[in-house]
Amino acid sequence: MPESDRLVAVAAHGLAGSRTDLPAGPLSEVEWFDLVQGCLAADLVGFLAAAVTAGDMAVTPAQAEELAVLDSECVGLSLLVERRAVTAAAVVGAAGIDHRVVDGPARRLAYGDAGTRHHRAVRLLVSSRRLGDALALQGPAPAPVAGQAAHRRERLAVLSSVPGLAGLDGQPRSPASHGDAAIAVATEADLLARLGPAAVIDLAGRSVPVLTLEQQLVVASAEMAADPVTPLVQLRDVAELALCPDLDSAVARHLAESTRSAEALADGVSLAWERFDLADQTGLSVWARRMSGSRRSGPGVRSVARSSAPVGRVGFAQRVFGRGQPGEVPAAGLPLVPLTTTAAAPSGAPRSNRSARRQT
């Protein structure tokens, strides 16, 4: 099995209905090393540990022990990032600056308290009008220290827009003509206001405002659309959010439309369903497939531009890790997932994700 397929299967572990296949038995030491390094680079160690713990992937006792230690270390680093988010949110909130945690601990809304989703950094979204104030509260950036691990400032980014939705930030738009009179298009409300009210989670005894499930899904999809190479863990986030029982897909679609990111949402959900071979269709996935598929097959500039996007995404592992043979890269034209499900599980190896149950 190509390493890129293993990574995809690990990233898909726990997703209901995924038909990706995990490695059949214990990997050789070389294969194991490559897989662990790949998971480390892609922030997938937690999913690998979950797969092993669930008995969905066989490992040797030594591999299991190594993985448990590594998983704990990654979770510990994620908690440090969460601490940073809690502190920054408290400071910004005390200054009366409206804010939302975009990712990092915000993903607990979808993943719960299971430490499968590790993160190295977190972003705090504030109004563009208060961005300067919020940045000033973080203090001056310290000088980098050679050889030092990610500094606390690198673990937190305060911003007023995100890639893919930057055009909605509160920047003045160019004038538009209306009859003989040129009128200025009203400055749009900034992204924080456009996204709407926050959800609140409890972290370390503090109430921390975070993006809602729907907002996280729209933002993650928009960011994927803005990036030619999609990290697997970000694609997993989209799938996790889209499959979350608490997600209101109608709200997500409405939000995507109001932020001009409906195409990005459709493409993101479609891509997640394709890459993780998700058998279970939802209203959102059917809508996304229809919308995304119709644009791919239709004429025009957009379909041409879109057709090239999956190439970079499919070749993620090869681009990031610089290994893999050309023949291992899946074809760019991924087949659409059929609406009918129920593909039978293979009778033998490799182990499959298809019996996976959602984590609660």
Partner 1 sequence: MTAAPGRAAGRWARCGGALSSRTSSGAVVLPAGGDTAVALSGLEQSVWAHAAEPVTVDTLAPLADPTSVAAALERLAALGLVHEVA
**To the nearest whole angstrom, how small is the minimum distance from the Cβ of residue 201 to partner 1?**
12
Q: Give the binding range for partner 1 (CB under 8 A) out of 80-88, 240-248, 287-295, 348-356.
A: 80-88
According to DSSP, the β-strands at 156-159 and 122-126 are parallel
- Is residue 353 within the footprint of partner 1 (CB under 8 A)? no
Minimal distance, residue 112 CB to partner 1, in Å: 8
Q: In whole angstroms, what separates CA 173 from the centre of its chain?
A: 30
**Rounded distance between C-alpha atoms, residue 16 and residue 11, angstroms:** 12
| Residue type at 286 in one-letter notation | V
Identify the H or E element spanning 158: strand 156-159
Interaction of residue 71 with partner 1, rule CB under 8 A: yes
Residue closer to partner 1 (CB basis): 203 or 278: 203
If one asks whether residue 104 binds partner 1 (CB under 8 A), the answer comes out as: no
Amino acid at 298: G
Q: Who's near 212: CB < 8 A, 6+ residues apart?
A: 109, 196, 197, 198, 199
Distance of CA 35 to the CA centre of its chain: 20
Q: Is residue 86 within the footprint of partner 1 (CB under 8 A)?
A: yes
Place of tokens 């986030």: 237
> Segment contacting partner 1 (CB under 8 A): 12-20, 68-76, 268-276, 303-311?
68-76
Task: Please pick, from the candidates 4, 20, 78, 353, the single residue that binds partner 1 as defined by CB under 8 A.
Answer: 78
Q: By CB under 8 A, tell whether 202 contacts partner 1.
A: no
Count of residues that interact with partner 1, criterion CB under 8 A: 22
> Please, which residue, 75 or 332, has the CB nearer to partner 1?
75
Verify binding: residue 113, partner 1, rule CB under 8 A: yes
80 or 304: whose CB is closer to partner 1? 80
Q: Does 76 bind partner 1 (CB under 8 A)?
A: yes
Cβ atoms of residues 224 and 117 within 8 Å: no
CA 54 to each of CA 45, 130, 177, 351, 354: distance values in angstroms, whole numbers, following the listed order: 14, 46, 62, 12, 13
- Select the residue interacting with partner 1 from 72, 171, 303, 341 (CB under 8 A): 72
Looking at the chain, how many residues does it have?
360
Residue carrying the six token digits 């997500």 = 252
Cβ at position 16, least distance to partner 1 in Å? 20
The Cα angle at residue 193 between residues 190 and 195, in degrees rounded to 5: 105
**Contact between 53 and partner 1 per CB under 8 A:** yes
What is the binding site for partner 1 (CB under 8 A)?
Answer: 49-50, 52-53, 68, 71-72, 75-80, 82-83, 86, 113-115, 203-205
